[in-house]
Amino acid sequence: MAVRIDNRAEALPRLPLWAAIFVLLACATMLALSGWREWTSRSADLKTAEVDMANLARSLTQHAEDTVELADAILIGLASRLETNGTDPAAIARVQSFLDLRKPTLGRIRGLFVYDEAGRWLATTEKVPLAGLNNSDRAYFQHHRQSDDQRPHLGQPVKSRSGGQWIITVSRRLNHPDGTFAGVVLATIDAAYFSQFYSRFDLGPNGAVTLLSANGILLARSPDDGTYVGRDMSRTPLLKERTTRPFASIYYFKSPLDGVRRLSAYRFSERYPLLLLATEAQEDVLAPWRQGALIRTAIVLTLTAVIGAIGLYLVRQLFARQRLAAALAATEADFCLLAEESSDMVMRIGFDECILYASPSTTRVLGWDPEQLVGTPALAGVNQEDLPRVEQTVASLKRGDIEETKIIYRTRHREKTEIWIETALRATRTPVTGMVDGVVAISRDMTAHKDLEDKLAALAALDGLTGLANRRSFDERLEQEWARAAREGTPLSLLMIDIDHFKKYNDRYGHPAGDSCLRTVAGILAAHARRPADLAARYGGEELALLLPTADFEGCEQVGARLLEALRDAQIPHALNPPSELVMASMGGASAWPDPAASKGCISLVEAADRALYFAKEAGRDRLVMSGQVMRWPHTKRA
């Protein structure tokens, strides 16, 4: 029997295998190239940072050298003047005058000092008394006294005796004409000057610049927490290995000061015993690369996944159906991504007004987990007073009358009583028919904003000094109570109160005491506004008012009498208010039965009370005068 082998039939099953191998090789190549590129990019970023640090170290070393050289140049001129003219009192007086003139132009130099052979202060740019001051114990002074070296001496950082701050010293020896030790001239540089200068350079959140002496004493650092200057860093590897290292190079190390892994460039000065170390945190240097690498790696992985997906799904129909599903999923994913990353609460509400989706921010805004709200009525927690307005808005969206709107209302919170919510609503439509199928609601908590509005409204109605209602609030309330009394046929009374001789009180005791007095009287007035409708107000200056709705003539008079008695009981001294020598007040009261047809309205009540107040003052003050017939209306009572 002959068997026919169809090579083409055998080859067909191998196609998916070869396709799979090809896809795997392509993906592996992409990943390998991506990894190589990222490593190269990382190395390039580090190299760029190394160059930047080296350039910065070179520049800042030059700056430090120039600063020391500037100080030394001043010292050379000062020493020459002293060695030529001597140190007798007249010569020192001329030097002091020279220093006083030179101080405004010193710039980065903190101060200049002259000491005699015993360490006594002879002259300085600092405004301190020189008597009794002696610096013979300072290391730089002892150095010059023991050595006839004429070169400048860069000393260790010390605490200034004139200012108390850390200073770096540059000094020179003074000689008598016979060559013996005559004293020291000194220039000081604030360590903080270097720290502030270094802080101008952007080295990232953890970068630092450090200036040290060649023997390892820290002179200045930025940033500085106030404890770095003066530290001995001589035992660090960089200084211990100084003899085996070049005078300038790149240096990776873990900082002994803050434990941060650093990329740095150091440079030893060739002119002075100084070491400059400019550093960046290695993490800060690599942060941009790391962020970019994550994005690029994500893109590469995404492309690799796409290639893998294309290789795995060769069947055209299945691929087409999957592409459609992916498009729909992408739309949903975009919505979910935006909703879940948003700090606002996002909800998708169905046409039946039940919640279909709630974002994670629901927990923060309402106190409920999203899973607990899905399937529940969206308007269940809305305040009953706001519910009709919210329902009307939702109904308009469902009918298609409006596409989007914004509404503010109150709703329940799981842990709080109620909160204010601002919600932006937008209708959603089905892709096929275009009919409204629900609403997307984006909400945020406006409680704090509403509370602030209420507080501002309350502050706008109050007098800032006394805490009583202000004039504007009083006028508005008077009109309201007048209209209500006219409508209901009830009386309305008003007391106008003026503190007697208040200007004299201010003149005698001062305005702060006057303010305190006014607050005390206002407190007494507020205490007598006992009914909810009563209103105590500051009418202007030392003039106060008490509005008494529904109070008739007798009631107003009784309240005024109680007020006068309360003022006497307060016993507030007022030497210029005889005979009582206490703070008292004149009061005018008026009572009326408002008539809607009256032409002058509520102004007539104020005028009547004001006239009564005038008569109280004319009658000798410290009394209450009630207005007689305020106006010719029915039910008006006479005093």
pLDDT band at 10 (very low <50, low <70, confident <90, very high): very low
Which CATH number, 1.10.10.60, 3.30.420.40, 3.30.450.20, 3.50.50.60, labels domain 194-284?
3.30.450.20
| Segment 147-173 mean pLDDT | 88
Predicted confidence band of residue 34 (pLDDT cuts 50, 70, 90): confident
Distances in Å between the Cα of 409 and the Cα atoms of 19, 366, 387 are 60, 13, 8
Measured CA to CA, the distance from residue 76 to residue 74 in angstroms comes to 5
Residue 417 identity (one-letter amino acid) = T
CB-based burial, 43-61: b 16+ in 10 Å, e otherwise: eebbeebbebbbebbeebb
Query: What average pLDDT score do residues 342-368 get?
Result: 84
Asked if residue 441 lies in contact with residue 347, where contact means CB atoms within 8 angstroms, the answer is: yes
DSSP E strands: which ranges in 314-389? 345-350, 355-358
Cβ neighbours of 447 (radius 10 Å): 14
Given a cut of 60, is residue 639 above it in pLDDT?
A: no
What is the torsional sign of CA 176, 179, 182, 188?
positive
DSSP string, 138-195: SHHHHHHHH----S-EE---EE-TTT-SEEEEEEEEEE-TTS-EEEEEEEEEEHHHHH
- Segment 429-485, tens digit of pLDDT: 887 677 888 888 888 877 777 666 666 566 567 888 888 989 998 999 999 999 999
Look up tokens 């005889």; give the residue: 578
Contact 639, 526 (CB under 8 A): no
Residue 633's pLDDT is: 37
Residue 343 carries which side chain, given as an amino acid letter? S
Is residue 632 scored above 50 in pLDDT?
no
Across the chain, what does the average pLDDT equal?
84
195 Cβ neighbours under 8 A, 6+ residues apart? 220, 221, 222, 223, 224
Q: Where in the chain is the domain with CATH 3.30.450.20?
A: 67-188, 194-284, 344-451
pLDDT score recorded for residue 115: 93
Neighbours of 349 (CB within 10 A): 23
* Percent residues over pLDDT 90 in the chain: 30
Asked whether residue 27 carries a pLDDT value surpassing 60, the answer given is: yes
Share of the chain above pLDDT 70, in %: 88
- Count of H helices and E strands in the chain? 17, 21
Predicted confidence (pLDDT) at residue 321 exceeds the cutoff of 50 = no
pLDDT (average), residues 132-153? 90
Phi, psi torsion values for 626, nearest 5 degrees = -95, 140
Q: Per residue in 130-140, is it b (16+ CB within 10 Å) or e — as a string?
A: eeeeebeebeb
| Tokens of residue 47, six digits | 């190299």
pLDDT at residue 496, as a whole number = 94
Please tell me the CATH superfamily of domain 344-451, with its number. PAS domain (3.30.450.20)
**Residues whose CB falls within 8 Å of the CB of residue 442, separated by 6 or more in sequence, listed in order:** 342, 344, 345, 346, 423, 424
* pLDDT tier, 540 (very low <50, low <70, confident <90, very high otherwise): confident
Cβ atoms of 149 and 54 closer than 8 Å: no
Higher pLDDT, 540 or 11: 540
| CA geometry: angle 502, 503, 509, nearest 5 deg | 85
Helices 603-618 and 471-488, packing angle to 10 deg: 110
Q: How many residues does the chain have?
A: 639
Where does the pLDDT of residue 334 fall: very low under 50, low under 70, confident under 90, or very high at 90 and above?
low
Q: What is the pLDDT of residues 200-234, one digit of tens each?
A: 998 888 889 999 998 889 999 988 888 888 888 88
Are residues 576 and 514 in contact, defined by beta-carbon separation less than 8 angstroms?
A: no
DSSP line for 88-100: SHHHHHHHHHHHH
Cα–Cα distance, 500 to 520 (Å, whole number): 14
* 92 vs 570: CA distance, rounded Å: 70
Q: How far apart are CA 402 and CA 566, in angstroms?
A: 63
What is 461-626's CATH number, 3.30.70.270, 3.40.1350.10, 3.30.505.50, 3.40.50.11810?
Answer: 3.30.70.270
> Chain-centre distance of CA 324, in angstroms?
49
Calpha distance 613→586 (Å, rounded): 6
- Where does CATH 3.30.70.270 sit in the chain? 461-626
Strand (E) or helix (H) holding 222: strand 218-222
Q: What is the pTM of this model?
A: 0.45
Average pLDDT over residues 581-587: 91
Give the pLDDT confidence of 268-307 residue by residue, as tens digits: 998 999 999 999 988 888 888 888 889 988 888 888 888 8
Domain 67-188 grouped into CATH 3.30.450.20: yes
Closest CA to 543 of 633, 631, 606, 635: 606
Q: What is the mean pLDDT of residues 253-257?
A: 84
CA-based torsion, 9, 13, 14, 15: positive or negative: positive
> Residue 373 pLDDT > 90, yes or no?
no
The pLDDT tens digits of the residues spanning 77-114 come to: 999 999 888 888 888 899 889 888 888 888 889 889 99
How far apart (Å, rounded) are the C-alpha atoms in residues 214 and 276? 9
